[in-house]
Amino acid sequence: MTTGESERPITFAGARLGRHRHVCAFFNTRDEEYRVFLPFIKEGLSHGEKAFHIVDPKLRRDHVERLAAAGVDVAAVEKSGQLELRTWQEAYLRGGHFDQAAMLALIEEVLTEGKRRGFPLTRLVAHMEWALEDRPGVDDLVEYETRLNYILPKYPDPVL
């Protein structure tokens, strides 16, 4: 890790994240999910960090509404580039299928670009319910997550 702002404590679900910041979380309801995610997201935005979110296209509007209800000026942070929202089709399922190599490259690009643009960290939040569906490439998910665990330690950014 580098010194300075990237070493600022990061809290998720009431616990402080250590050096390894790749977290997989399961929730029973969307309300429960947002009770956990919103403080994490708001903390990052208040520290001037980039927020990169991958969401179900059917729930994009709900995601934006929940951010706004929590006090996030979504339009302003999107306009400034501090918040970037992508749907599954714009991230995991580009080309209509899951391509782990393309997704790993996207993750590295997002984390590198955030730093290049002056953000101390990028907090990446990815909703992955698409993996429960019968989609081309979904069988590569375990290998993808394993490969991701080799890439992410190069970056101080939290990835959930």
Query: pLDDT (tens digit, 9 = 90+) per residue, 7-22?
Result: 677 877 777 877 778 7
Give pLDDT, residue 153: 92
| 3-state class (DSSP) for residue 25 | coil
Give pLDDT, residue 7: 64
- The pLDDT of 65-70, averaged and rounded, is 97
- For residues 28 and 44, give the distance between their C-alpha atoms in angstroms, rounded to a whole number: 24
Answer whether 51's CB lies under 8 Å from 82's CB.
yes
Domain residue limits, the chain: 4-154
Helix (H) or strand (E) holding 75: helix 74-80
Annotate 4-21 with b (16+ C-beta within 10 A) or e (fewer).
Answer: eebeeebebeeeebeeeb
pTM for the full predicted model: 0.90
Mean pLDDT of the chain: 90
Q: What is the pLDDT confidence band of residue 1, given thresholds at 50, 70 and 90?
A: very low
Query: pLDDT (tens digit, 9 = 90+) per residue, 29-61?
Result: 999 999 999 999 999 999 999 999 999 999 999
Q: What is the pLDDT confidence band of residue 3, given thresholds at 50, 70 and 90?
A: very low
